[in-house]
Amino acid sequence: MSHIAYFRLYEELNDYLPEKKRKITFSLSLKAPTTIKEAICSLGVPSEEVDLVLVNGESVPFNHIIGEGDRISIYPIFESLDISKVTRLRDKPLIYKP
């Protein structure tokens, strides 16, 4: 069983994508069930480079199961924006300035 989800990668994470998928929303056919981390890795993006993932506008952890039609936004390390209140990937963002 498979389903379609829609991905958009931001900033330097686009460097891991083929040219035609950079800076746009693109669809990806996934076998169910697929986690966020599995999908990110299938795109060739190291999960260590990802600081925030939104699914349909909500922050989710790496083990979140992707559903049919989900819209997934993947963000790199935030260097000057405190996302500690919204990130669900780790206990604290990759760069944390208290």
pLDDT digits (tens, 9 = 90+) for 42-62: 999 999 999 999 999 999 999
Cβ distance 25 to 8 under 8 Å?
yes
Ranges of residues in the chain with a pLDDT under 70 are 79-98
- Alpha-carbon gap, residue 16 to 39, rounded angstroms: 13
The residues near 79 (Cβ < 8 Å, ≥ 6 apart) are 95
pLDDT at residue 1 in the model:
81
pLDDT at residue 78 in the model:
76
Q: Where are the chain's structural domains?
A: 2-76
pTM over 0.95: no
pLDDT at residue 10 in the model:
97
Cβ distance 74 to 8 under 8 Å?
yes
- The two three-digit tokens of residue 60, written as one number: 């989710």
The residues near 40 (Cβ < 8 Å, ≥ 6 apart) are 47, 50, 53, 62, 74
82-to-74, 88, 93 alpha-carbon distances in Å:
16, 13, 8
The residues near 10 (Cβ < 8 Å, ≥ 6 apart) are 73, 74, 75, 76
Domain 2-76 falls in which CATH fold? Ubiquitin-like (UB roll) (3.10.20)
